[in-house]
């Protein structure tokens, strides 16, 4: 597990004592929810039927789809700590393979939820269930995939504020 007090600040090189860091702490409850969500979805103590490697792979894939390279680098490092190079290569392969193996199905689902959510349907859920995912696991995967665009937009907004402060 990579222990980082605040992922967004780490990725942006933002000091908690800086004006922007202090501004973020004015909404400490939001900051706490943001980090708690990250930890619950990506690094849960009890990952259930979705391994930490699968979670990191899904997060890496989402960050790559969003073209958020620092976030992708974070998830790549996290994945490298929990899986082998083949899993990293699978997470970075676009489009996702057509196979019915677990990673192919998970990554195709992640792609669909991220890029074409209106096309998701019962068939997608049934494929995940056929992999042995419980309803709670399917919700966790869906939440994780949906969380990455949020992280991307958060980082983009903080970057903008950093640039305005620097100007």
Domain ranges for the chain:
7-162
Q: What is the DSSP string of 92-125?
A: T-SSPPS--SHHHHHHHHHHHHHH-GGG--HHHH
Query: What does the pLDDT read at residue 5?
Result: 74
Token digits of residue 62: 């989402």
Query: What does the pLDDT read at residue 148?
Result: 97
Q: CA of 135: how far to CAs of 17, 23, 64, 103, 123, in Å?
A: 42, 38, 26, 18, 14
The mean pLDDT of the chain is 93
Which DSSP category does 134 fall into? -
132 sits in the region (left: phi over 0; alpha: psi -120 to 50; else beta) called left
Q: CA of 141: how far to CAs of 25, 54, 92, 108, 138, in Å?
A: 29, 9, 18, 12, 5
The residues, any chain, with a CB within 8 Å of residue 101's CB and separated by 6 or more, are: none
Contact 58, 110 (CB under 8 A): yes
Q: pLDDT-derived band of residue 50, with 50, 70 and 90 as boundaries? A: very high
Is the pLDDT at 1 greater than 50? The verdict is no
Query: What does the pLDDT read at residue 78?
Result: 95
Is the pLDDT at 167 greater than 80? The verdict is no
Domain 7-162 belongs to what architecture?
Answer: Up-down Bundle (1.20)
Q: pTM (2 decimals)?
A: 0.93
Token digits of residue 44: 């849960």
Peptide bond into 95 cis (omega under 30): yes
Percent of residues, the chain, with pLDDT higher than 70: 97
Q: pLDDT-derived band of residue 139, with 50, 70 and 90 as boundaries? A: very high
Cα separation, 159 vs 152, in Å, equals 11
Cα separation, 54 vs 1, in Å, equals 14
């Amino acid at each position: 597990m990579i222990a980082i007090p605040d992922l967004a600040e780490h990725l942006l090189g933002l000091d908690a004592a800086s004006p922007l860091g202090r501004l973020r702490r004015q909404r400490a409850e939001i900051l706490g929810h943001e980090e708690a969500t990250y930890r619950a979805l990506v690094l849960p103590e009890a990952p259930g039927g979705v391994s930490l490697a699968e979670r990191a792979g899904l997060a890496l894939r989402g960050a790559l789809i969003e073209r958020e390279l620092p976030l992708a680098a974070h998830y790549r490092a996290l994945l490298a700590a929990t899986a082998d190079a083949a899993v990293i290569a699978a997470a970075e392969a676009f489009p996702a393979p057509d196979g019915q193996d677990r990673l192919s199905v998970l990554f195709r689902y992640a792609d669909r939820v991220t890029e074409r959510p209106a096309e998701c349907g019962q068939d997608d859920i049934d494929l995940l269930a056929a992999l042995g995912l419980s309803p709670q696991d399917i919700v966790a995967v869906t939440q994780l995939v949906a969380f990455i665009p949020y992280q991307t937009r958060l980082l983009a907004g903080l970057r903008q504020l950093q640039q305005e402060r620097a100007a």
